[in-house]
Amino acid sequence: MTATPETDYTPAYTLDNQWRAARERLGTLELCFDPLTRRHLDAVGVGAGWHCLEVGAGAGSVARMLCELVGPDGGVLAVDLEPALLADLSLPNLEVRRHDVVAEPLPEAAFDLIHTRAVLMHIPQRDQVLASLVRALRPGGVLLLEELDLTPGFAPPPDGLFRRTLDFVYRPVIAAGVDPAWAASLPVLLESAGLVDRGTTRELMTFTGGSPMAEFHRITWLQFLETQPYSEAERMLIEMARAELALPGGQYVAWDMVTAWGHRPIDH
């Protein structure tokens, strides 16, 4: 693919996969989300011979799933701003590329499935990227988006350290372009994009202290501490909350996983 970046555009992602513990963070995310993603891939019928695009492939677990589902007659293109964590994947039906979906075009009408997971919410130009993904679908192809609506975690109850930390911990990344509520608009956006046979699910994700999701929060908040501006009082509160999340037994509300899908119409 030929890059056509704007001269004043600098790609940015608030959770950089070049960070020292990025693989551990993505590993906990995969433990939490992969079973749900697999159910959605099965539900939309991904099968032998499909050609799939995985956007923001991270550490590669969904790309591996897709390679298994499409078999030797299909193919998977996995793209990421920083694909270093995909270097160990060696599958005959997988291609890995460094690609910026904001600045670089995708081939049009090329894929039977395009999938993202917790990616578009981080991109300020998310609506522009969504339009590009729709154009990259073959007629009849399906766009499957799994995006986080963070707002349930902000709503009381419960109170306590986790809730108090949520009041400010995402503030710098929201200022950088993360939209904690964008996922809620996916049903309307897919309808406006002209997709048909659409569907949506919303699943409240809760967790307990000491669980993989608790560890995902602990590692993510460590990355925030190392890369984002907070006051000393805020840093102390984040560290206290991270310590609490490591303890088994606590009950927490994280977010809603909003999954939306739709097919590009078949031209007649």
132-188 pLDDT, tens digit each: 999 999 999 999 999 999 887 666 555 689 988 988 999 998 999 999 999 999 999
Tokens of 141: 């192809």
Task: Give me the domains of the chain, ranges plus CATH numbers.
Answer: 22-150+178-205+253-263 (3.40.50.150)
Residue 252: left (phi > 0), alpha (psi -120 to 50), or beta?
beta
Determine contact, residues 122/177, Cβ cutoff 8 Å: yes
Q: How far apart are CA 77 and CA 53, in angstroms?
A: 5
Reported confidence tier of residue 17, pLDDT bands at 50, 70, 90: confident
Residues 29-47 pLDDT 10s: 999 999 999 999 999 999 9
Query: Residue 154: which of 175, 140, 174, 139 has the closest Cα?
Result: 174
Residue 46: DSSP 8-state: -
* Residues 6 or more apart whose Cβ sits within 8 Å of residue 10: none
Specify the pTM.
Answer: 0.91
